Structure 1
Amino acid sequence: MSFKIPKNLRIPGPTPCPDYVLEAMGQDMINHRGPEFQDMIKRTTEGLKSIFQTSNDVFILTASGTGAMEAAVVNTLSPGDTVLSVSIGVFGDRLGQIAETYGANVIKFTTTWGTAADPNDVKKVLDDNPNIKAVIVTHNETSTGVTNDMAAISKVVKDADKLLLVDAISSLSSLPFYTDEWGCDVVMSGSQKGYMIPPGLAFVSVSERAWEASKEATMPRFYWDFGRAKSYLERGQTPWTPAVSIFYALDVALQGMFKEGMENVFQRHIDLANKTRAGIKNLGLELFADETHASNTVTAIKVPEGVNGGDLAKRMQSDHDVVLGGGQGSLTGKIFRIGHLGHVYEEDISIVLSALEDVLPKIGFNG
């Protein structure tokens, strides 16, 4: 069986990997209880602390981003705890579902998809429900192409003296995030987004307040136990067999980002987002997200009336080797998404826009 490798993968994760990352992954296996791995986990953990902008503990889990979500919940909460779930899309809903699965009493605050959460509305829910123990919220929602104002939301949560658990899976390393300055207690991130490496690792930061909550938390945990992760990290190990090849990738990818300079990385994402949104509007297409809070990692676009979203995706791939993201949940068939996070540059976006200009008239759009 043969298959064609897409040349322009424009989904919001997994994202393309630079050649130096792919080459690093080809190294031989090493003893994950030996000195080489000890050195590597120390380097990568310190590098991640810089990305997270934190002096808190940071752990590297062999898991998807959803594993980090589950770890955040089970290490800090107990069945029956009241939790405010602030959702602006599919992944915000998922975080709330995880808490519900483990027995939390979840108060759901959901915005109209395509808009960000208003910090004043979050404050009102907290004021009306003083028994809330924790707030769980997504920073950057790839399903809708929206970024929440975490500085403002975190202030509201901290003023109310609640735990703050933040899904930053698709924002950390692509957008500025200030874990300590914002007072975030657990922050989650994933390897397959802005880090330019394959899926397989998840990253979490844990504040002192989160550690205190963990002492009282009674949700069951074994694989996700932060306490076990901390004790093993102190000896340069992980509790369970790690994804060694993805650690190799992380090690060199962090070096690559720091060489570029994180401020330059952030600016590159801003420039790419602006280019994408401007190009989409020039084609006569309509953005899905409120531009005030539009994400700089992914752009969501409304499928034009009379156009089949599935046909658009198929023609973009068959004719131009461009792979677009589709809509999820209730947005299936209604939007398509262009990922511009991680290892992506202006030429990649220019190719996507040119391909859309070619394909759209062929499937019924004459905007």
Structure 2
Amino acid sequence: MYENILRHPGPTPIPKKVQLAMSQDIFSHRSNEFVTLYRETMALVKPIFGTKQDILLLPSGGTAALEAAAVNTISAGEEVVVVTVGAFGDYFVSICERYGFHVHKLVKDWGEACTAEELRPFLQAHPQIKAVFITYNETSTGILNPIADLAKVVHEETEALVIVDGVSCLGGAPAEMDAWGIDIFVTGSQKALMLPPGLALVAVSDKAWQVIEKNQTPSYYLNLINYRSWAEKGMTPNTPAITLIYGLHEVCKLIEAEGGFAQTVARHELMKQMVRSAMKALHIELLTEDAYASPTITAILAPKDIDLAAFLAHLKNRYHLDFAGGLGHLQGKIFRFGHMGYCFPSDILQAVSLLEAALQDFNYTFEAGAGVLAAQQVFLAAQR
């Protein structure tokens, strides 16, 4: 049997060392062994967020952490702004509307980022807002919003909290929570953090804690004050995903072994450039412009005159290369090339080579080897 070559935006491949770490014996989540594991792991994770704040662990998917960020800070009837540039920005809208918040949506076309120049007048028109919800990396379109610039504008124009979805990029993109003024930063385990699904991580600023302490949250399981209280004891309020915490500890060690988080970020940036250069050499259009392109996922338009669904199925069935399709109105129009977490330049060269083979099967006209050569040239230039 061939292994599936998973080049998705999540779940993503898991390193063998992480798999082995997760196979260790289970112990009680109320034991001294767990307290040691928890505290060591949470200290190691802080550089990935760029924060001195404690990290909270939720035994959940990333969406639950997004909901926790909303319900712990905002009450029904209060005004918020949601910046939405794709499907996952729309998630934030749905969560906020479900809890009865008064939502002002700043909507961009899918494939475009939101700029500070666009956000500023929108905020000025809504002076009563309590929070601004922003997706850092929009998985559905491969956009990386300029989160530092957006957070700065929010703080210049309002007293609102900046709440950021970093689910599909934390661990592979620059993150300076404290320096950028992010108040709640959320991510999940199954993407750039190289773990199976089932663990969410939340970092909260001092300013956000002051708001949370005054807010009458209706949530029990997602009550962040409860998580903070238990974190002070080196535990979680409910039974945690102990095996995933084992794995997260090992992930942090792998990042250290790579040379630190800056090197991990540089690898993701390099892979992004390799993929984009390859597609351009093959005359396949990209959904996003270079300036706001994600370092963890690239959205690629269907090659000309090719039935995308048939093409993706052929890639998976014949070459065992598994890309993600488009979401929403982009379904059937784009595919998404994930290059995050346990992924390296050699993996990019492999995927581009197999993509070229499938293009030949579909009689797509291009210069054979052009994509691989372009990606290889980007890689070699980075080694000089």
TM-score by length of 2: 0.92
Give aligned pairs, total: 364
In the alignment, which residue of structure 2 is the partner of 1:162?
A: 160
CA distance in 1, matches of 2:143, 2:222: 29
CA distance in 1, matches of 2:249, 2:42: 9
Counterpart amino acid of residue 36 in structure 1: E
| Deviation (angstroms), 1:304 | 2.5
Which string of whole-angstrom CA distances, capped at 9 and with x for unpartnered residues, describes residues 73-109 of structure 1? 0111100111100011111110111011111011111
What's 1:120 paired with? 117
Q: Which residue is 1:239 aligned to? A: 237
Q: Give the SS at the match of 2:70.
A: helix
User: Runs of 4 or more off by more than 6 Å in structure 1?
Assistant: none
Match of 1:296 in 2: 295
Contact 1:269 1:340 in 2 (8 A): yes
Query: Which amino acid in 1 is paired with 2:10?
Result: G
The question of whether the paired residues in 2 share the 8 Å contact of 1:79 and 1:219 is answered with no
Give 1:133's match in structure 2, choosing from 120, 130, 134.
130
Q: What SS does structure 2 have at the residue aligned with 1:343?
A: coil
What per-residue deviation string (whole Å, max 9, x for no partner) do you get for residues 14-53 of structure 1?
Answer: 1101100011111111011001110011011111222111
Deviation at 1:346, TM superposition (A): 1.3
After superposing the two structures, state which structure 1 stretch, 179-188 or 46-55, moved more: 46-55
Q: Say yes or no: does 1:57 pair with 2:54.
A: yes
- Tell me how far apart the structure 2 counterparts of residues 126 and 278 of structure 1 sit (CA, whole Å): 37
Alignment partners' CA distance in 1, 2:160 and 2:344: 40
Structure 2 stretches lacking a partner, 5+ long: 367-384
**Aligned CA-pair RMSD:** 1.2
Whether 1:199 and 2:194 are equivalent positions in the alignment is no
Supply the distance in 2 between the matched residues of 1:195 and 1:324 (Cα, whole angstroms): 19
Post-superposition shift, 1:219?
A: 3.9
Report the counterpart of residue 357 of structure 1 in structure 2.
356
Alpha-carbon distance, 1:306 to partner: 2.3
State the match for 2:90 in structure 1: 93
Give the SS at the match of 1:177: coil
**One-letter identity of the residue aligned with 1:116:** A
Q: Partner residue of 2:215?
A: 217
Per the TM alignment, residue 5 of structure 1 is displaced from its structure 2 partner at its CA by 6.4
Give per-residue Cα distances to partners, 1:268-295, cap 9 Å, x unaligned: 1111111111111111200111111011
SS in 2 for 1:250: helix
**Which segments of 5 or more consecutive residues in structure 1 lack a partner in the other structure?**
none
* CA distance in structure 2 between the partners assigned to 1:211 and 1:270 by the alignment: 33
Aligned to 2:225: 227
Partner of 1:172: 170
What are the superposed Cα offsets for residues 227-260 of structure 1, whole Å, 9 maximum, x if unpaired?
1101111111111101111111101111111221
How far apart are 1:313 and its partner, in Å?
1.1
Task: Give the Cα separation in 1 of the matches to 2:245 and 2:310.
Answer: 38
Distance 2:215 2:332 in 1: 41
Question: Which residue of 2 is the match for residue 267 of structure 1?
Answer: 266
| 2-structure distance, mates of 1:6, 1:175 | 28
Counterpart of 2:381? Answer: none
Q: Which amino acid aligns with 2:42?
A: T
Shift of 1:364: 4.8
**Match of 1:24, as an amino acid?**
A
Conserved? CA contact 2:213–2:225, under 8 Å: no
Distance 1:188 1:252 in 2: 20
| 1:34 corresponds to 2:19 | no
Report if aligned partners of 1:15, 1:343 keep a CA contact under 8 Å in 2: yes
Q: Say yes or no: does 1:149 pair with 2:146.
A: yes
CA distance in 2 between partners of 1:217 and 1:233 (Å): 20
